[in-house]
Amino acid sequence: MRTILHVDMDQFYAAVEMRDRPELRGLPLVIGADPKGGRGRGVVSTASYEARKFGVRSALPVSTAYRLCPQAVFLPVDMEKYAAVSAEIQAVFLKATPLVEPLSLDEAFLDMTQSRLLMGDGRQAAARLKAEVFRATRLTCSVGVAPNKFLAKIASDLKKPDGLVVVEPGREREFLAPLPVARVWGVGPKTEALLKGMGIVQVGQLQDFPLGPLSQRLGSFGAELKELALGRDDRPVVPDQEAKSLGRETTFERDTAEAGTLRQTLAGLCEEVAGRLRAQALRAGQVTLKLRFEGFETHTRQRPLRPASSHGPELLEATLPMLREFLKGGRRVRLLGVAAGRLEGGEPREQMELFGQDSEKKNKVDLALDKVRARFGGGALTRASQMALRESEFQEASRRAGQAGLSMKPGTGSAGSSPAGLEKRPAPGRGGEP
CB 266 within 8 A of CB 258: no
Alpha-carbon span 423 to 413, nearest angstrom: 12
Alpha-carbon span 131 to 126, nearest angstrom: 9
Q: What are the beta bridge partners of residue 272?
A: none
User: Is 107 assigned a catalytic role?
Assistant: yes
Alpha-carbon span 340 to 9, nearest angstrom: 26
- How many residues comprise the chain? 434
Of 101, 107, 272, 347, catalytic? 107
Residue type, 135: R
CB 282 within 8 A of CB 368: no
Helix H or strand E encompassing 100: strand 100-104
Helix H or strand E encompassing 68: helix 62-68
- Indicate the SS3 state at residue 245: strand
Q: What are the beta bridge partners of residue 283?
A: 344
What distances in angstroms separate CA 300 from CA 293, 325, 327, 407, one per listed residue? 11, 12, 13, 21
Alpha-carbon span 232 to 249, nearest angstrom: 38
Beta sheet of 44-47, edge-to-edge order: 44-47, 29-32, 73-75
Q: How many CB atoms lie within 10 A of CB 219?
A: 10
Q: What burial letters (b/e) apply to 321-354, b meaning 16+ CB within 10 Å?
A: bbbbbbbeeeeebbbbbbbbbebeebbeeeebbe
- Indicate the SS3 state at residue 201: coil
CB 45 within 8 A of CB 60: no
What are the φ and ψ backbone dihedral angles of 352, each rounded to 5 degrees? Answer: -65, -30
Q: What burial letters (b/e) apply to 408-424, b meaning 16+ CB within 10 Å?
A: beebebbbeeeeebbbe
**Which residues does the annotation mark as catalytic?**
107
